[in-house]
Every structure is written in C-alpha cells, then in structure tokens.
Structure 1
Amino acid sequence: MTTARQRTLLPSETPRSLLDADGRATGGELPADDVLLELHRRMVVGRRFDTQATALTRQGRLAVYPSSRGQEACQVGSVLALSEQDWLFPTYRDSVALVTRGVDPVQTLTLLQGGWHLGYDPHEYRIGPQCTPLATNTLHAVGMAHAARLKGEDAVTLVLLGDGATSEGDTHEALNFAGVWRAPVVFLVQNNGYAISVPMSKQNAAPSLAHKGIGYGIASELIDGNDVAAVHATVSEAVAAARSGAGPALIEARTYRIESHTNADDATRYRETDEVAAWLARDPIDRTERYLRSRGLLDDAREAAITEEAEAFAASLRERMNTDVEVDPRELFAHVYAEPTAALREQAELLDEELRS
C-alpha cells in the first residue's frame, strides 16, 4: 500500500526515528516484536563479522577492508526489507549487507582478498557485484529494475550508496532515469558524514541529501540511520510502494563510520575523537538492546546465545580464511575476453615459459 509519506517529494526537516538513542519508542508504528529481535540478532552477528574481517586484514589475509561498524542498522534494516525475488546492488562497504542476504562470508570477502573474480553468484543471491567505483551501481540498479518491469517480473531493486557517491554524475543519471521511467528502485544513501576525508559541508549545499530527489520527481525521506526500526520500516514502505507501481524512492539515512575509511586510512587526520565518541553513544545495537530489554523481549540468556552465535560465525570465518588457497597464475588470463587477443596470448605464453623455468 502506498502511504502519503512515500509519495511526498519534500523530505522532513528532521530524520524519521522510531527508537531514540536511549532505546525509547518515539511514538511511531514499530516493526513487529519478532522482526525487531531478528534485526537485533543480525546486527550483532554482522558487527562480529565486520570486526573479524578487520582483524584478518591486519593479519594480511585481506588486501583491504572498509569497515561498516556503526552502519549495521542501514545494511541489516534495509536488506531484511527485501523479498526473495528483489535485487540488491551494494558498494564496497556493504559486506554486512551481503552476509545478511545469505552470502557465504568467505565468498563475500573474495573480492577484498584480492581474488580475480567476484566470489559469489549474483543470480543465486540476486545481488549485483560489489561496486568499488563510486555510483556505478546506481545505474545498474535502475537498469535492472526497468528491465524487470518490462519483462513483467515482480522485482524491486535496492541500491546502497554513500554520501560521496551522490556527488557523482552516475547518481544524477540514475535518479533521472528512475524518475522518468518510474522504475521500481529504492536508493538508500548511507550518509556517514565523510567521503573518505571530505566532510558533508564540502560536498553538498542542500538542506539534506534527501532533497536531491525533488528535482527528479522522486519521493524522498530523511531518516535516522542508526535506528534499525526506522530503516526497516521506511525501506519496507518504499519497496512496497515501488512494487505497486508508485515509482522510485530516495532515502537518506544519517549514520556514522566509526572506523577509518579503510585499513589504509588514518581518520584521526581529519576528524576529532570527541565527534566519534558522540556517535558511539548513538550505537544502533545498544539502542535496540535497550528497547528489547525494556519490553522483556530480550534477557541475559537470549543475548548470550546471540553472542555465542556471532562468535561461532567469526571463528568459522577465521579458520576458513587462514587456509592457504592453491592459486594457478594462469587464471589471470581466463574470462578476460570471449576470444583471447594476440597480446593476451603472447603474455600467457611468456608466463608459461617462466613457470616452466
């Protein structure tokens, strides 16, 4: 069902929230209790996966890893709003979203490990390749959504992007096409405050990134990205509206990247520790835990079981990632072209000679 909120082009002045920073309900309609419990569980497991991936990077098992600590509500809340037939188009920072969608954690990290291929089957999970270039996934998502509608398929696409990606031309083109075609696509901007080291004040002069939807005729919403209840409810409503033919939506979720941009970045060079501390106090996992405990839906035993599950998940990932993989360097030349070029064949022959010697 299309709600008035989904069809309003002008976003609210303050972010929509259903749970405040202390875990108190703000008065809006919350997701069902079982949904909130599942959202909390997935965030706990997702964060443990994230911290384990960061540790693996320090151990040299990953080439690079962009942590999403602090952004779990955006990724978990949005992914669990999708149906099985829907498509997800993630960025390089959305590994928690992939794991939440059901991708094997080792396959999720293949690209970041330095593997030559994606690691997972996009068609099996209905997830586009993790996007490293900023904003290229926005156009892919719109194209997939438009094609699905032309084919009569009941599919909505969700595209994740950061605040920096909204400054790219690809995002402009994607929003424009989505608006013109009324494509069933939902844009979720995880505004974590920085495009690497560039703060929002140097990226955008509009009152919010959600305001960018107005010029394209796209319904827009501004939400608290650390409130998993608000993320899940808002994305669910937007997906339902898109599925019904009401057109696309642009959602700005205000959140924060607690860790550095990647393991190769030093965030202390461009932001103050007090700023990080203020956002730590708005932690999305702590927020849902307080609410669930206040309702008697979560106790020490149940929380311990979730923590144990998360630790087992991390231990399995650690064990599997610490196993050396036999690599055939000849695979470098596989799947580059349907028919190898003369130059590629020459390079392959040189490699063969070197390996034989």
Structure 2
Amino acid sequence: MSSPQSWVPTDPRSVPTREHVLSGLKGLDEGGAELVQLLTPEGVRVPDERFGGWAADVGVEELKGYYRDMVLVRRFDREGNALQRQGQLGIWVPLLGQEAAQIGAGRALAARDMAFPSYREHGVAWARGIDPTDLLGIFRGTDHGSWDPIEARFHLYTIVIGNQCLNAAGYAMGQKFEGKVGDGEDAEATMCFFGDGATSQGDVHEGFVWAAAYDAPVVFYCQNNQWAISVPLERQTRVPLYQRARGYGFPGVRVDGNDVLACLAVSRWALEECRTGNGPVLIEAYTYRMDAHTTSDDPSRYRLADELELWKLKDPIERVRVHLVRELGVEPGFFESVQQESDELAARFRSFCLAMPTPGPERMFSEVYAELSPQLEAQQAAYLEYHASFGSEA
C-alpha cells in the first residue's frame, strides 16, 4: 500500500482517484506512528509516556464535562447550518467532526492566556465563555463579533486565511517584551488556530519565522481536517505538517484531533512550554471535516463517501460516550440530560437569530471611526439620501 506522500500529481488540475485517496488514508494509519492518543476510537483509555501525565487529573466528572461541551457545541453548530439553509444566515462555517480538537485545546487555555481563532472555532469560543448567540452577527452580516476580545481573551474571528498567525505572533512577542513569560503564576501564552489549508499561506510562514526569531510564547494549533476546501492535504505538503516545525527551530507534535483527552494533554504541555519561555510550539491536530467547508461548498463534488464513512468510526463524541458507559459506568440519565440541554440551547440559538434586528444603513459609517471626518460625513449624507430614494422596502 502506498504512503499518502507517494502520489504527487504531475498535473495540478488532476483529480486523485478513489484508490489514491483510500490508500492515503490507510497509509496514514490514523495519523502515523508518532500520533499522540489517549482515548482510542473504541473508547479505551491508553497510556502515553510523554503526555499521559498532562491529563492524569481527568476523571469521570471532567470527562462528563468535556462530553457535554462537545454535544452542546455540535448541537448549535447543526442549528447554524439549518438557519443558513432557511435563509436566516448569509453563510455558516461548520465544525462537525472537530469538536474534540477545539474543546481539548480550548479547555487547556488558562484564563490569562490569549486565543486567536480563524472562522471555525465555535468550540474554542464556547470554552472561552463566548455565548453561541454572539457568533450569529458575523454570519448574519450585522457585525464583526459582539464580544470584547481583551475581556474574553479570545480575539474576533479572522476571515482572511492565515492572517491570525501574524496577529498571534505579534501579540505573543508583546507578552515576551512585557515580561509575562517565566515561572510565575501570572505567566501567559498565546494560542493560534488555523487549518491545514492555511499552512500554504505566506502569513503562516511569516508568523512561524517571527515567533521563532523572538522565541515568542505562541502555540500554533493546526486543525488538519484533510481538506483545504476541495484541495486534499497530499497536494499541499510532502511531509506531515507537524514536521514543518523543525525547519523553524521549534518542536512539532501530531495529536489525534478526535481525542479530546489527547488534545487537552498536548495543549496543556505546549502552553506551559510557552509560558515558561520554551516556545513556540506547533501542534497538528489530526482530524476530519465531516461537513462542507462552508454552506456554500458541495463536498460531494470532490470527496468520496467511503472516506466520510471511515471517519465516522472515529467520531470524537462517540468515543467519549462509549468510554463513559463501558469503563466508568455512567448512567443513561446523564446523556439524556445533556441531550435535553442541547435542544434547549439550539432553541435559544434559533430564537435569538430570528429576533435579531436589522442594523440601519448608517451602521457602515457609525461603527468604523470614533469621529467622522468632513469627507466621511459628506459620504454618509450622500449614501443615506441615495438609500432613502428606494423607499421603505430598501
């Protein structure tokens, strides 16, 4: 069986065959020999000499909490998809299948740490205390995010691919310059989230360079969900993504992105490395995008059903549920209560969306500058006059 890097297309317009895709998946063997895993797809907790200790404190109550996190995040994510299909949102960016990668990393962050998301980090937002309804304005087109990024320690979503890596590297450099790195309890780190497709962007490379040159306390957290929209990973790199860190002079780790325990443990380790002055670190969370890239995408045009079915067997929520039931004896009542809570959250999410007011046309001026210049005041007046000429239906 060929390895995933053995097929390199000579024609950039060529499409991988079914055999190539399946051989690549099998050749990866769930992420390769260096994959960090603490909870198998069958729900069995396994030891890991290097990282197991970073999740040693996780018992039944903690696991129940992570299970609840993932179920609730998936539920409002599915509601977001439905709202877009019904014309209530302009677009939605699904995270289906990436719940463990996001909750594991999000729960590893300390309150004082800073996080920089892309546009799919609904689970990290949840872990940072952002109410799901605060995400709706972005996708309904009424605002760019309604939370205070400094107070929440969670930056606003970044739409430009990979740009948040530069922002995160710069912020982490500031943490270093201000003496917020060291052995003290108030030490800080930064975590930057991006996808495998973003690794082909110059902004990510530049972020790595600056972070390495200044030893910035930043964890680069790549959620490798196998597809950069319609471009498979094997067209983007000849080596596993985590190995790219070697070229910049800092460590890289590949973790099972469908294993919430492993993501938590590796993220805790990496953040502590950064806080104590040993950063930066690259984490590749090896996962899978089980839905479309966005609601404007049709994955059936480039992805095989066989591939999706294979990854369904590695569902991040199901493996925790199985472990809780088989190994820890959690009763059905817990799962029923979480399901009820998730339905209530989805109903609140939907009601909030349907009741959102439509901002007036002056919003594009009033929320950009603290004070309008005479030129902008003239532009605003001209625009509002033009808009009013269409009548009340405009």
Give TM-score, length-normalised by structure 2.
0.84
SS in 1 for 2:45: coil
For 1:109, the aligned partner's letter is L
Secondary structure at the residue paired with 2:314? coil
> 1:89 and 1:324, CA in 2 relative to 1: closer, same or farther beyond 3 A?
closer
Q: 1:356, 1:138 → 2: CA distance?
A: 42
Q: Which residue of 2 aligns with 1:157?
A: 190
Listed one character per residue, the Cα deviations across residues 301-337 of structure 1 (whole Å, up to 9, x for unaligned) are: 1111111111111111111111140422111112434
**Mapped pair 1:20 → 2:40:** yes
How many angstroms apart in 1 are the aligned matches of 2:374 and 2:301? 48
Q: Which of 80, 84, 108 is the aligned partner of 1:57?
A: 84
* Structure 1 position 282, deviation (Å): 0.4
Give 1:342 deviation, angstroms: 5.5
Partner Cα distance (2:368, 2:334) in 1: 49
How many residue pairs match? The answer is 346
Q: SS of the residue aligned with 1:44?
A: helix
Shift of 1:353: 2.1
Distance 2:387 2:299 in 1: 42
Task: Name stretches of at least 5 consecutive residues in structure 2 with no aligned partner.
Answer: 1-30, 181-186, 390-394
Structure 2 equivalent of residue 68 of structure 1: 95
How does 1:183-194 map onto structure 2 within 5 Å? Answer: 183-194=216-227
C-alpha distance in 1, partners of 2:225/2:157?
A: 19
Mapped to 1, the partners of 2:358 and 2:197 lie a distance apart of: 38
Equivalent position of 1:196 in the other structure: 229
What is the CA RMSD across the aligned residues, in angstroms?
1.7
Per the alignment, residue 6 of structure 1 pairs with: none
Moved more, 93-102 or 331-340: 331-340
Shift of 1:354: 3.6
TM-fit CA distance, 1:209: 0.1
Identity %: 36
Q: Does 1:274 align with 2:295?
A: no
Pairwise CA distance, 1:116: 3.5
Q: State the alpha-carbon separation in 2 of the partners of residues 143 and 92 from structure 1.
A: 19
For residue 105 of structure 1, report the CA deviation from its aligned partner.
1.3
Larger radius of gyration: 2
Structure 1 counterpart of 2:153, one-letter code: R
Gaps of 5+ in 1: 1-10
TM-score, length of structure 1 as denominator length = 0.93
Who is 1:4 aligned against? none
Q: Residue 163 of structure 1 aligns to which amino acid in structure 2?
A: D
Higher RCO (Cα < 8 Å, 6 or more apart): 1
CA 1:114–1:296 in structure 2 vs 1: closer, same or farther (change >3 Å)? same
**Matches for 1:299-318 after TM superposition, within 5 Å:** 299-318=331-350
CA contact (8 A) 1:12 1:221 kept: no
Cα distance between partner residues in 1 of 2:246 and 2:329: 40
Q: Aligned match of 1:205 in 235, 238, 241?
A: 238
> What is the CA–CA distance in structure 1 between the aligned matches of 2:92 and 2:137, rounded to whole Å?
11
1:220 to 239, 245, 252: 252
Question: Post-superposition shift, 1:91?
Answer: 0.8
- The DSSP-based 3-state class of the residue aligned with 1:15 is coil
Alignment map for 1:236-247 (pairs within 5 Å) = 236-247=268-279
How many angstroms does 1:86 deviate by? 0.6
Q: Which moved more, 1:160-169 or 1:297-306?
A: 297-306
Residues 220-299 of structure 1: matches in 2 within 5 Å? 220-299=252-331
SS across alignment from 2:252: strand
Task: Indicate whether 1:349 and 2:375 are aligned.
Answer: no
1: distance between equivalents of 2:329 and 2:108? 21
What's 1:85 paired with? 112
8 Å CA contact 1:116, 1:332 repeated in 2: no
